[in-house]
Amino acid sequence: MKLDVFTVFVFLCGMCFLAGCVIFMAWWISKSSRGLLLWSISFFLRGSALPLLMLRNKIPDFLSIDVANAVLMLGLGISWYGTRELAGQKGRVIVAIAPAVLWLLACQVPEFYGNTTWRVLFFAALSGVYSAFIGLEFLRSGTRSKTHGARLRKSLGIVFLMISVMYLLRCVAALYSGVPDNPMNGGNLVGITLFITLFWVVGGTVVWLAIYFEEYVLSLKHEAEHDVLTNCPNRRALMVRGDMLLAKSSGEAAGILVFDLDYFKLVNDTHGHHAGDCILREFALLMRKSMRSVDVFGRLGGEEFAAVLPGVSPARMEQIADRLRQTVEEHKFIVDGQAVKITTSIGMVHTSLAGHDLEALLMKADDALYQAKDKGRNRIVHWRSMGGQGMLERRAGPTGNDPAPGADEQESASFSSLGRSALAT
């Protein structure tokens, strides 16, 4: 069976333009990934270069040899650049345009320009090297990615490495069997090479779009569930995740903490809202680092945050809350080169006392939080329900005349003897 090279060329040209249009439209939807735009440009370049190759011996050699192959090389270099962008890495323009520049320089050498075999060897070698570069970038980004698209990236990396091997075999074939001056007369060898290229254009585009749309949907989900400023879960996500956590641990212990940064308005008034934003971001990062991976932490709004701590006893919850309070008090918040003193008040409630309704638990913890702020700030307060009546009991940090925290169980027992008169001191 003899492949019609011209027909395969036409199909490949059409598929390059189609792939370029589809990937460009995918980029146009969000305009968030310059890598997609670069890949669409690379397909357009290849699609525009193929007709020039098809017109070999019918148009000047400068167009069908110099320009056509330089444009193909430029498309390959831009593909590498786009892959770097999609992987979150910076590419160098000089590396992207290097294959096209090297091709044009080589064409200035008469011995090279007049030898078709040398031209094919040089073109195949450059294409093989850059295909390997692209394959390695996909493999690396697939290894780093934690999404389902990681496997697709690795698969695409393997495909490009296989294409690199194909170009290597093309070099071997050119050395042993020679090549015709006109690619239209290349027979099955050129036809098979083009057919494989056509296959990866179609398959690669499908995989590309699968990767893009999966990660695009994940990015939209992340934006919908995370606070823009602090990048921690927003109130809606906190409620959803917290409810799921409490539902899983139904009947088991869990603690709820609500945080508020003390005198935060004064920070904004003194240092500006930019400083306030920096402190909120740093506070959120500090809390996430200080908590367990199973804990759910998020921003309720303004300077108020909350956390759900599964599997902790009331005494352990109080210990964790006071440790977090001390962590904030001892941390050096630096804004524009200035150290800013920040403390936090924490209200807390335990499921053993108030059930597993997260909305109700947050309200009770919020009541305890306001009691903590009323009684001097920079302290923790535990909400307790006794005899059917809500009662707030304070456990203060080592500020002013407040007692320093001691053994958890012993102190928890002592808190039960405190009445409202004690809270007023």
Residue 230 falls inside a structural domain: no
Give per-10-residue mean pLDDT for the chain (425 aa). 68 85 84 83 90 87 92 92 84 92 94 88 90 90 74 83 85 73 56 62 69 74 86 92 81 88 88 89 94 93 93 92 94 84 93 87 93 91 60 47 38 31 27
Q: Which residues are CB-neighbours of 127 under 8 A, at least 6 positions away?
A: 73, 76, 99, 167
Q: Do 366 and 390 form a contact (C-beta atoms < 8 A)?
A: no
Are residues 284 and 403 both part of a single domain? yes
Are residues 410 and 307 both part of a single domain? yes
Are residues 53 and 195 both part of a single domain? yes
Q: Give the structural domain span for 221.
A: 5-225
Task: Please identify, among 225, 259, 279, the residue that sits at the C-terminal boundary of a domain.
Answer: 225
Residue 406 falls inside a structural domain: yes
Are residues 208 and 247 both part of a single domain? no
Q: Do 177 and 243 form a contact (C-beta atoms < 8 A)?
A: no
Specify the pLDDT at position 183: 61
Are residues 271 and 387 both part of a single domain? yes
Residue 408 falls inside a structural domain: yes
Are residues 198 and 317 both part of a single domain? no
Are residues 323 and 399 both part of a single domain? yes
Residue 70 falls inside a structural domain: yes
Are residues 191 and 115 both part of a single domain? yes
Are residues 279 and 202 both part of a single domain? no
Task: Please identify, among 198, 225, 252, the residue that sits at the C-terminal boundary of a domain.
Answer: 225
Specify the pLDDT at position 282: 93
Residue whose token pair is 């017109």: 55
Rg of the chain taking only CA atoms, in angstroms: 32
Specify the pLDDT at position 409: 36
Are residues 162 and 250 both part of a single domain? no
The CATH number of residue 272's host domain is 3.30.70.270
Are residues 97 and 64 both part of a single domain? yes
Task: Please identify, among 225, 255, 279, the residue that sits at the C-terminal boundary of a domain.
Answer: 225
What tokens were used for 21? 């249009």
Residue 60 falls inside a structural domain: yes
Query: Interhelix angle for 116-144 vs 93-106, to 10°?
Result: 170
Residue 275 falls inside a structural domain: yes
Distance separating alpha carbons of residues 219 and 209, to the nearest angstrom: 15
Residue whose token pair is 């958890």: 408
Distance separating alpha carbons of residues 136 and 116, to the nearest angstrom: 30
Residue 32 falls inside a structural domain: yes
Q: From residue 216, give the alpha-carbon distance in Å to each of 33, 83, 234, 246, 329.
A: 10, 16, 20, 30, 39
Specify the pLDDT at position 11: 81
The CATH number of residue 214's host domain is 1.20.1070
Residue 391 falls inside a structural domain: yes
- The domain tally of the chain equals 2
Are residues 170 and 98 both part of a single domain? yes
